[in-house]
Amino acid sequence: MSKPFTKADCLIPDWPAPANVHALVTTRLGGVSQPPFNSLNLGTHVGDSPADVTENRRRLRSLLPAEPCWLNQVHGTDVVCADNRVETPQDADASFARQPGAVCVVMTADCLPVLLCDQAGTVVAAAHAGWRGLLNGVIESTVKSMGVPPSQLMAWLGPAIGPDAFEVGPEVYAAFVEQNFAADTAFEEIPDNKYLADIYKLARQRLAKLGVQQVYGGDFCTVVERERFFSYRRNGRTGRMASVVWIS
C-alpha cells in the first residue's frame, strides 16, 4: 500500500501572501501512475490510465476545500471565474476566484504557471503561460479579470522550463521583441539561428509593465529537475503537474 499523499509531496510557494490565501504545486511524487507518467500525473489528455488519473486527482482533492476548476487549456488568453465551476472543463488558460473555497488550477509540464492574489486576500487567480499565451496576453487578461489595481497584486512564478533549456526559433524572438524591445534582454542568441529564452524574465517584464511590483518564484527548471517535475520538452510523452490557489 502506498504512503499517504500529503503537502510534503508538493511545492509550497514562498511568497508573502495573506494568511487566508493558500497555494501549492504538485510534483511528480505521490501518485499511482505508471511510467512514463510516474507518478502523480493529473492530466487526462496525455494517454495515461483514466483510473490512475482519477486516483491522482482524488489525492490532490484531499488537500483542497473543493474540486478544482479544471480547464481545457488551449494556449489562449481566455479567463473564467472559478466561483462558477462546471463539471465539463471550459476552454480557457486562466481562472480567478473571489469566493472562499473556490479553487483555481492550471496544469503544466514546462509552461509557466503564474499564481496571483491581492494584498487584502479578496481575489486569487492562476494562469497557464506558455510562450504563446504569454505573447498573446494571458497575464494581462488574468490581471484585468481580478478587478483590483495591479499595484495591489502579488505574483508567484511556478516551475517552468529554465532559461538554459528553453531553445526557440528566431520567429519567437522576433514576435516578443516586436511587441516590446526590452524583451531582447530575455533572449540569448546561440548557434544555428536559435535562441535561449528566459520565460521567467518575459513574465516579469509583462507584470512590471502592468504595475505588479511584487513578483516571487521563478527559480526552477522542469527540464533539469527530472526526479521532481514533468517536462514535455525533455520526455515528450509525460504527465502534468497542477498549480492551485484558493481563499479560505
pLDDT at 11 over 70: yes
Query: CA-CA distances (angstroms) from residue 213 to 41, 137, 181, 216?
Result: 33, 18, 20, 10
User: Residue 2: its pLDDT value, please?
Assistant: 60
Rounded CA-CA distance 241/248 in Å is 23
Give per-residue pLDDT as tens, 167-195: 999 999 999 999 999 999 999 999 999 99
- pLDDT bracket for residue 87 (50, 70, 90): confident
Grid cell listed for 118:
491581492
Of 144 and 86, the one with more pLDDT: 144
pLDDT at 1 over 60: no
User: Residue 187: its pLDDT value, please?
Assistant: 98
List CB contacts of 134: < 8 A, sequence separation 6 or more: 112, 199, 202, 203, 206
Q: What would the mean pLDDT of 20-26 be, rounded to a whole number?
A: 98
Query: Which among 224, 176, 178 has a CA at the least distance from the CA of 201?
Result: 176
pLDDT at 202 over 70: yes
Q: What would the mean pLDDT of 27-55 be, rounded to a whole number?
A: 96
Q: What would the mean pLDDT of 62-80 be, rounded to a whole number?
A: 97
User: Residue 239: its pLDDT value, please?
Assistant: 97
- pLDDT bracket for residue 25 (50, 70, 90): very high
Q: What would the mean pLDDT of 71-76 be, rounded to a whole number?
A: 96
Longest Cα–Cα distance of the chain, Å, equals 55
Rounded CA-CA distance 124/143 in Å is 10
Domain residue ranges in the chain:
7-161+215-247
Q: Are 141 and 120 in contact (CB under 8 A)?
A: no
Q: What would the mean pLDDT of 116-137 be, rounded to a whole number?
A: 98
Rounded CA-CA distance 212/154 in Å is 6
Grid cell listed for 5:
499523499
Give per-residue pLDDT as tens, 98-126: 999 999 999 999 999 999 999 999 999 99
Rounded CA-CA distance 104/17 in Å is 16
- pLDDT bracket for residue 3 (50, 70, 90): confident
User: Is 7-161+215-247 in CATH node 3.60.140.10?
Assistant: yes
Q: Flag whether the pTM goes above 0.85.
A: yes
- pLDDT bracket for residue 86 (50, 70, 90): confident
Q: What would the mean pLDDT of 142-152 be, rounded to a whole number?
A: 98
